[in-house]
Structure 1
Amino acid sequence: MRAVTWQGKRSVSVETVPDPRIEEPTDAIIRVTTTGLCGSDLHLYEVLAPFLDPGDVLGHEPMGVVEEVGPGVPGLRPGDRVVVPFTISCGSCWMCERGLQSQCETTQNTDQGKGASLFGYTKLYGQVPGGQAEYLRVPQAHYGPITVPDGPPDDRFVYLSDVLPTAWQAVEYADVPDGGTLVVLGLGPIGDMAARVAAHRGHRVIGVDLVPERLSRVRSRGLETIDLSAVDDVGDAVRELTAGRGADSVIDAVGMEAHGSPVAKSAHQVVGLLPGPLARQVMETLGVDRTSALLTAIDAVRRGGTVSLSGVYGGMADPLPMMQMFDKQITVRMGQANVRRWVEDILPLLTDDDPLGVQDFATHRLPLEQAPQAYEMFQKKQDGAVKVLFQP
């Protein structure tokens, strides 16, 4: 089969790799019909190279048709149309029973000190081949795949794999009070969708970004925006819009690759020059992130407010302004999305009325073979790229 493979920092290629096969009774094989390019994939493209090997298959936002199931998968049949969550979880362990599927104890990577395995996402999370491919082996298929009806286009459901539950959890964790104001930092796929979810719930939403096309998308839905390139200080701009108090809640949908952190950016570049084992050791013990978005969130949120982190961070030595956080009495919530926890809440919104605008959410639909160009375009924020979908 053809698949998108990691070959080195800022280098991916589409290669012919072995077809997946059933390895465990609870496996299924999916023929992928649509698969997304995620902002988290850019962390692999740019920052997390020490935890990848050349040839690793990328991608964690697939949907498709079941081709084969193992004997331990009674709920699926060949021909079923399914969306595959990016987190691999069993559904029956202590963590899954409590709605913490991203911490699943069956697929937890205890040797790395990390949570549940993820598709297409480094040695830290199981090094499971990903879904930017023609076919995908799905472990724990008795629980993970979400069966969806035939008929509507893939765009209606594919975001259940990651974008929708991640955005939904970000808004849940933000705990916006009734009549409150939510600031969303970063209007890429997750930030854009989080803004849509929050607006659907009746919250006042202020989106922050510096890419004109992203700001325009959010404004077109009637939401307020702050152009990062047009203000001296985001926190001050937010306070001007909120009676001097700050936002009730802030979502950081940017994460480790925020603009405005030159020291951390230089550190990432230096680590990228080290041999793999040494680079991994440095990242795991001394790694720092570009934390400008997180620092902005802490500044822009009001006293007693909540900061919700959906942007991925990977540093082990990130400095935080603990005095400010303690003094402002801030609540901080974060973590990988517990996809299955939110599916039943989201599915009723994926109707013909399309209140979240999923049908036109993608900015680019491309053949899988164009993945290298798509990664570069998305990383450089060119051509208005917000969400790219591949058709294998």
Structure 2
Amino acid sequence: MSLSEKDFQNRIYNETEIRDNICEILNIDSSQCRFYREVEFINGITSDFIICDNNYEMKAIIECKRADIGVTEYVRGVGQLFQYEYFQEEKIQPKKITQIKYTSVNNENILIIPSGFIKNTSLNIGRFKYPKNSRILEVHDSNNVVREITKNELKRISESENKNIITICQYYVRDNRLFECFILIKVLYFLECVGLKNFNRKEIENEFLRKIMVINNRNWRNAFITLSSLGIIDNNKIKKQALIYTNVSIEIFINSIYEEYIFFFIDEIMEILVENSYKMIVNLNNAQISCLLRKKYNNKDILYLTDSSERYISSWLNIMRDDFGCIDFEAKSSLREIKYIPKELNSSIRVQKIKKYSKAKNYTDSLGKKLKNILKEYEGNLL
């Protein structure tokens, strides 16, 4: 059951992590700003929140929507954003906070939704017109991580309607393994800890990541894209609320990503494999798996799962084999062995199974030592 809009607002207001993460995305110093709730403007229009700095300079006006709303309520929320844009253009102050000033060109109009919104709605949020100076943020239902739904993501969602595609999960994993994302998190954190914070992506990749041999060693860009989609990194930096991932084992990391982001995809594929197996052995190629998934959804493609030919299916199967170890198969073979079914296990047992069957350890063991050696080599090259 989804939170009511009032409860969702309460969660944002009461959780320091969420407020800090919102400020981080908006490039606002959370220690130098104030959140005000239910702020009334002219014509009886009330915003859910405003953010201003300690000098009362307006930074953002915010509208929140719960997960289970229809088109009328969503249109009302988008309409509010247009009004907030007007307030900022005309420098209209809240009725009871008359100290507010509009001296910055960086005022933001924000729509905030919970992560369950896209799965729970039949709306295509990419097919709405939004104010030019507006952004959509998503608060994760369980871990308080806030991410931006970018214009590129809205475009992909918009195009899905024309292509007869449905959405069961909004998170985009870009043709890489989860342990590669884990390594990237460790590298970014390591660089920050040793005071090397100003590298761009290509420099991080060339000077550090490519010296850690992994499956997709020539394409670390995909790991950056994946972690950005999940809201874990932004501008090559780990978000505050995602720092928890820097201090966990690889099996706990993989399990967390499953539980918090990608279980929809893994469970859908696993269900097809189990239904077509005999004694935990199944013989289905990628095209056959895609066809059976489409059949389940009235012959519609599934965003990030069956669209784009069989590319996503191939990527998910590799993750299931190499990260989770829940299936096993040889390269280019359609014969697959089911080791365990992730959704049937509780978190603790699933972690144990990942630890037992995952191939991730082959790449993540002694990572700290490798990073220190790579740093030593890097510093030596500077001399």
| Same fold by TM-score greater than 0.5 | no
Larger Rg: 2
TM-score range, shorter chain: under 0.3
Which is richer in helix?
Answer: 2
Structure with higher RCO (Cα < 8 A, 6+ apart): 1
Q: TM-score, with normalisation over the residues of structure 2?
A: 0.22
Which is richer in strand?
Answer: 1
